[in-house]
Structure 1
Amino acid sequence: MSVQDQKLRDRMYAEERVREAAEDTAQLERQVEALQGVLSATLGVDDYLDLEQLKQPPPQPTFYPLVGSPPQPPREADFAVEGPSALGRVFAASKHAARAEQRQADYQRALHDYGVAAQQHAARLDEAHRRHEAEVARAVQEHQRHVEEVTALQRGLAARRPEAVVRYLDLVLEAAQYPEGFPHSWRLAYASGAGHLAIDYDFPRVDVVPGDKAYKYVKSSDAITPTARPAAQVRSIYAEVLRQTALRVVHEVLEADRGGALRTVVFNGYVTDVDPATGRDVRSCLVALATSRERFLSVDLARVDTVACLAHLEARLSKDPTKLLAVEPIELAGSLEVDYTLDTETDTEATDAERGATPPAEGAVQREASNGADTSAQQDLAAGQNVPLAEHRLQVDVLANQADLSVLLVGAGGTVDRDEDFLFYNNPRSTDGSVTLSGTGATIDTALLPQRCERVVLVVSADGSEYLSDATAVLRQQGGGTDLRFRPPDSSGVSALVWGEVYRRNGAWRLRAVGQGWADGLAGLARDYGVQVD
């Protein structure tokens, strides 16, 4: 290769590396642009959730028999013996006749084998048809149950029943599309008499903002190196993300509430992170906002400056959210009876209702008055609440006495694909090792779950008694995540209930606290999820 050719190759290689660095930089810019457009991304979207659309039937399961191609019958011509020559008819007639007889016998055996194979194939095909018909029937049944639930929610909304209002708004917030990797979870409390909604919202941490600003190619080391984003720019972008998110969440619930159930919204936005001053985990309130429906909807969010807008709405903003400098969360004074909440235990809720305060985000831990933060490693959930899971290895333990844990691996159709996907004392381990029962607990590894599994349904049932007296359990995230504890508010009168479900959403796993009971026990619950119970 000539020197000129080598120089040309080197130049082309360097240009390719420069383009690679430029594309990496452009990707960072797109991430920042998406973060800075959190609010504008929802302004062109109608956040009203048409529940009627949720009644649309899903596609029917496709019939995949997986029984192979049907066997082909043997052709008698393939077993024919060529006629003898003239001399053969004289000297080898008997040998030809013997060969012809042998080939005819071979044909009869092949014909018999074909008949057996055809019968076996037909039996497998019939069994595949029966399984498919059962799958279709389960899908239809599940859809009918889903339609009934949606209809009940619609009736509840029309009557402004608190639990229906909160569950509808929970669906609205869950349907919101945020930038990739943008975690968000929430807790809701609603007082129907005052038309008051309290939102405790978990913001993303500061590392949602890319720490690198750009990439460049260094020819001397043949490496693409990052340029750090200035701390002031990280602080500015992060503060803007929090302000936009607060305005967006309030906008979404008010726009979705066409029935006018909400008259006042209180939003407290929190971040859980390591306090750089103490090195300890804290949960700090960084944005607090209280607004009436009329005042908020009079604002044109497409044209506002978020700092000026939140000042106009008299919000409280952290002076430096990157340092977790907290503000006091807003609590409403006066009489406020909370009818339905998705974030506190029964006793804490009653206390807050009496004093007219917004229920705390963690039922078992009170916020410190000095900084609005707590250091609890356990989070108490309430029925309907959903939170993201940080770890793939999970441990679920039943804390209640005289109660057992069972697990159902549920597919997209809302039922198990096979009876082996029902894990209980007689079938304690899944075939792929993703779930193992032990005593009154279970270990779950979401990384090992099969692709067909969309939900892991966690069931608590009575052991040694007719009915459950308590169904408290805790999900621990092995590797450092927060422990998630849930005590279903009313487990009496049922012998089995769905404690919660670990479900897949946009490629990530979340936990939803459910607390739905089954009067006909574990067998009836399993049957409703498609298990063939003798």
Structure 2
Amino acid sequence: MSRRSAGFVGGWAEMQRQHQRQVEAEARRLREEERQARAHQRLAAQSHREYRQAEARRRTEELEAQVATLQGLLAMGCRVPAFRASSLMRAEEIPPFDPGQLAWPVRMPDQSQYQAQGGWTANRRAQAQAEARARFERDWHAAQAAETQRQQQLAGLQRDHERRAEAQRAEVRRHNAGVVEVTEGVRRGDPDSVVEYCSAALYSSTAWPEGFPRQAAAAYDAAGRQLVLNWELPGYDVVPEAKSVRYVPAQDQDKETARPVTQRRALYREALAQSMLLVLHQLFAADEYGALDSVALNGFVDAHDPATGRRGQIFLATAMAPRAVFTDLHLEQVDPVSCLTDALRGQLATRPDHLTSVRPSRHPEDAGSHGATHGGDEEPDLYDMDPIAFESLVADLFRAMGMQAVTTQRSNDGGVDVDALDPTPIRGGKIIVQVKRYRNTVPPTAVRDLYGTVQDVGANKGVLVTTSGFGPGSRTFARGKPLELISGDELVDLLRRHGLHGRLGEAGPAAPARPASGPASPPGDHNVLGMLWTGDVALDVCALVCQGNRVLSDDHFVFFNNPQTPDGSVRAVPPAAPDKAAIRVAFDALPDTADRFVLVAAVDPEANPEADLSGFTDASIRLLDPAMKELGRLEVSDGRPRETALVLGSFRRRSGGDWDFVLGGKGYSGGLEQLVREFGIEVE
């Protein structure tokens, strides 16, 4: 072979070797990628398995914690301080008056800052000095007027603060007087007072785990000095059905280990016995006046009777505990079942999971006076209810509406009376509830305070429930915020719709001041003021009946939550095309003290939260007769950027009784709240 051919063969062989090395390198790369993928899969599988195993352990720990809570119910409850009537007393703590910027006097102009400017001649210098004096006098008079206005506003705010403070102090005094009256009744052995006091002791207790019922019917036998009490016990589901949870990797599923039936039944019987003993302990510990010589206690569950299929009270435990016997027990060391059945000679269902009942020796109706009841035929007067019983009734209502709800501890509750949890996905969450047993309108400060509490505790919603009502200031403040206001009439309606009872006053539920549909046509002739404009911004058109620059009352502010005035002379009505809003007004029927009828428009913060009035153009008011025939048209100002409320104009009463229209145009960047403040509507 020639040298040339040998070189060709060697080159070809080298190319083959390079190709082989590339193939081998690619194979090694693919093998490494496969190895890394398998390692990643093993790691992911291991991480998933570890996560699922950790979740299974967490669920097991939760089950064990639930059982531990049940087993330690009596011991923990005995460590809770005894109820005292003094815990119900309220302090007259009124926030100090804070006028804000109004506390600072208007700064008066300094004459030394008003120097003559220019003037080369004596006449020009004299003219410049006169102009400087004129500027100073103008600014001084303006400052004096502003200071006078500030002092008037300050005095008005201070009077309002003092009026609200006195109303709060009066409410606190009434409440404290009621507490004193009950305690004095307990000292005398008055049956109603004893029942009310004992109910308060049980309702206010913090010893019960979340989800435990607190419903009772009670009566007091004054002759025998015995309290007879039916108390609701927790259902069988209070003991978890599962004992533990473990993760099965082969099936990628959690597997629950069922708790043996005998163990679950024993735990349930023990929980029932502890609940009975804890109720007795709380009653005797709270009886600082020695009104109870004994307590006849019957524990029931609200369930379907296996024999009849009807829902009702099934008694699972009963005991009659003399004070001398009970106070001699060392509750933290007893076996609860033995203590109830042996030491107190009580009865406890042997198979409570099957709802096998026991027979109580005495019921509240056998003792005479009735006390706190749930689901009966009585219609308690919400105005006269014990505050704690009223809070418990509101908690009952929330539970009847499908929520979890408990009343809070009386002290350090942060202004929250009921804690509720709505389990509904997306729209549910934590709800804090305040209850106000008022006869007068709830002030906007209460709504403002509730909103602050909602923000402080991170709740999803705040609900204020009252026996009275709310003014436009409160409604305006609450709009667009996670707040719900329930008036007394709405509360009574909700109670009845959910099988509960309550009335407002002796004559039953108070009739609403204004029917939702409004009254018949107001007396005398009337006009419809139709409002139309171009642009897509959603607006609320409102009306204020005023004397000068002050609305006659909160009820004379017609808006989305107050569709008409008390006398029906002004009311919001559905608009007819081409109008987008309409207000009906009977000018001759307006109060004699009214001399201005003001129309305003504001951006709807719910429909257009980011909008302003720059899209409010080509606006006018159509004056229509009762037959909806157009009598005339009044042009109004367009809206401006960054403003969210606007005074459209006002009708002013003249000396002859006629009404003339005066064009408005003043805008507000703070929306409807800022606008109505200028007319005397209190919005905190």
Quick one: structure 1 residues 118 and 154, their matched pair in 2 at CA, closer, same or farther if it must change by over 3 Å? same
Q: 5 Å matches for 1:111-510? A: 124-177=153-206, 178-217=208-247, 225=254, 227=256, 229-230=258-259, 232=261, 233-275=263-305, 279-312=309-342, 313-331=344-362, 338=367, 340-342=369-371, 387=393, 388-389=396-397, 390-392=399-401, 411=436, 416-418=441-443, 431=475, 449-450=484-485, 457=488, 476=495, 478=497, 481=498, 483-485=499-501
- Residue from 38, 54, 61 that aligns with 1:26: 61
User: Does residue 41 of the first structure (1) align with residue 76 of the second (2)?
Assistant: yes
Q: Counterpart amino acid of 2:91?
A: P
Structure 1 position 426, deviation (Å): 12
| Unpaired segments ≥5 residues, structure 1 | 90-100, 345-360, 365-378, 395-408, 435-446, 461-472, 500-531
Structure 1 position 280, deviation (Å): 3.8
d(CA) in 2 for partners of 1:120 and 1:222? 75
Quick one: structure 1 residues 148 and 424, their matched pair in 2 at CA, closer, same or farther if it must change by over 3 Å? closer
Three-state SS of the structure 1 residue aligned to 2:500 is strand
d(CA) in 2 for partners of 1:218 and 1:122? 77
> What corresponds to 1:57 in structure 2?
91
- 1:392/1:477 contact within 8 Å kept: no
| Residues 330-383 of structure 1: CA deviation (Å, up to 9, x unaligned) | 2289xx984532168xxxxxxxxxxxxxxxx9867xxxxxxxxxxxxxx87797
- 1:410/1:417 contact within 8 Å kept: no
d(CA) in 1 for partners of 2:105 and 2:245? 61
- 1:187/1:342 contact within 8 Å kept: yes
d(CA) in 2 for partners of 1:27 and 1:245? 21
Three-state SS of the structure 2 residue aligned to 1:199 is strand
d(CA) in 1 for partners of 2:102 and 2:257? 58
Per mean C-alpha deviation after superposition, the further-off stretch among 198-207 and 147-156 is 147-156
d(CA) in 1 for partners of 2:144 and 2:102? 16
| Residues 356-413 of structure 1: CA deviation (Å, up to 9, x unaligned) | xxxxx9867xxxxxxxxxxxxxx8779766552323499xxxxxxxxxxxxxx96499
d(CA) in 2 for partners of 1:138 and 1:131? 11
Quick one: structure 1 residues 432 and 57, their matched pair in 2 at CA, closer, same or farther if it must change by over 3 Å? same
> What corresponds to 1:96 in structure 2?
none
d(CA) in 1 for partners of 2:476 and 2:401? 15
Structure-1-length-normalised TM-score: 0.59
Three-state SS of the structure 1 residue aligned to 2:73 is coil
Three-state SS of the structure 1 residue aligned to 2:318 is strand
Identity within the alignment, %: 26
Structure 1 position 245, deviation (Å): 0.6
| Residues 412-467 of structure 1: CA deviation (Å, up to 9, x unaligned) | 99964339998889999x94899xxxxxxxxxxxx9634xx8xx65699xxxxxxx
Structure 1 position 67, deviation (Å): 7.3
Quick one: structure 1 residues 227 and 410, their matched pair in 2 at CA, closer, same or farther if it must change by over 3 Å? closer
Q: Counterpart amino acid of 1:320?
A: R
Quick one: structure 1 residues 474 and 294, their matched pair in 2 at CA, closer, same or farther if it must change by over 3 Å? farther
Three-state SS of the structure 1 residue aligned to 2:332 is coil
Structure 1 position 191, deviation (Å): 1.0
d(CA) in 2 for partners of 1:251 and 1:65? 50
d(CA) in 1 for partners of 2:340 and 2:194? 26
- 2:106/2:143 contact within 8 Å kept: yes
- 2:269/2:348 contact within 8 Å kept: no
> What corresponds to 2:592 in structure 1?
none
Quick one: structure 1 residues 166 and 63, their matched pair in 2 at CA, closer, same or farther if it must change by over 3 Å? same
Q: Counterpart amino acid of 1:417?
A: V
Quick one: structure 1 residues 487 and 324, their matched pair in 2 at CA, closer, same or farther if it must change by over 3 Å? farther
Q: Counterpart amino acid of 1:170?
A: S
Three-state SS of the structure 1 residue aligned to 2:313 is strand
Q: Counterpart amino acid of 1:31?
A: Q
d(CA) in 2 for partners of 1:199 and 1:37? 24
Quick one: structure 1 residues 279 and 36, their matched pair in 2 at CA, closer, same or farther if it must change by over 3 Å? same
Three-state SS of the structure 2 residue aligned to 1:314 is coil
Quick one: structure 1 residues 393 and 176, their matched pair in 2 at CA, closer, same or farther if it must change by over 3 Å? closer
Q: Counterpart amino acid of 2:346?
A: A
> What corresponds to 1:370 in structure 2?
none
Structure 1 position 269, deviation (Å): 0.8
Three-state SS of the structure 2 residue aligned to 1:449 is strand
Structure 1 position 22, deviation (Å): 3.0
- 2:269/2:337 contact within 8 Å kept: no
RMSD over aligned Cα atoms:
5.5
Structure 1 position 154, deviation (Å): 2.8
Q: Counterpart amino acid of 1:166?
A: V
d(CA) in 2 for partners of 1:63 and 1:413? 23
> What corresponds to 1:376 in structure 2?
none
d(CA) in 2 for partners of 1:105 and 1:13? 84
- 1:410/1:457 contact within 8 Å kept: no
Quick one: structure 1 residues 145 and 412, their matched pair in 2 at CA, closer, same or farther if it must change by over 3 Å? closer
d(CA) in 2 for partners of 1:113 and 1:13? 75
- 2:220/2:367 contact within 8 Å kept: yes
Quick one: structure 1 residues 228 and 68, their matched pair in 2 at CA, closer, same or farther if it must change by over 3 Å? farther
Quick one: structure 1 residues 337 and 159, their matched pair in 2 at CA, closer, same or farther if it must change by over 3 Å? farther
Quick one: structure 1 residues 245 and 64, their matched pair in 2 at CA, closer, same or farther if it must change by over 3 Å? farther
Per mean C-alpha deviation after superposition, the further-off stretch among 259-268 and 9-18 is 9-18
- 2:99/2:157 contact within 8 Å kept: yes
- 1:21/1:215 contact within 8 Å kept: yes
Structure 1 position 498, deviation (Å): 9.7
d(CA) in 1 for partners of 2:441 and 2:97? 17
Three-state SS of the structure 2 residue aligned to 1:197 is strand
Per mean C-alpha deviation after superposition, the further-off stretch among 206-215 and 4-13 is 4-13
Q: Counterpart amino acid of 2:268?
A: Y
- 1:391/1:477 contact within 8 Å kept: no
Quick one: structure 1 residues 307 and 64, their matched pair in 2 at CA, closer, same or farther if it must change by over 3 Å? same
Q: Counterpart amino acid of 1:327?
A: V
d(CA) in 2 for partners of 1:176 and 1:305? 23
d(CA) in 2 for partners of 1:485 and 1:413? 18
Structure 1 position 199, deviation (Å): 0.5
Structure 1 position 48, deviation (Å): 4.4
Three-state SS of the structure 1 residue aligned to 2:160 is helix
- 1:71/1:117 contact within 8 Å kept: no
Q: Counterpart amino acid of 1:342?
A: G
Q: State the number of aligned residues.
A: 410
Q: Counterpart amino acid of 1:148?
A: A
Quick one: structure 1 residues 297 and 105, their matched pair in 2 at CA, closer, same or farther if it must change by over 3 Å? same
Q: Counterpart amino acid of 1:147?
A: N
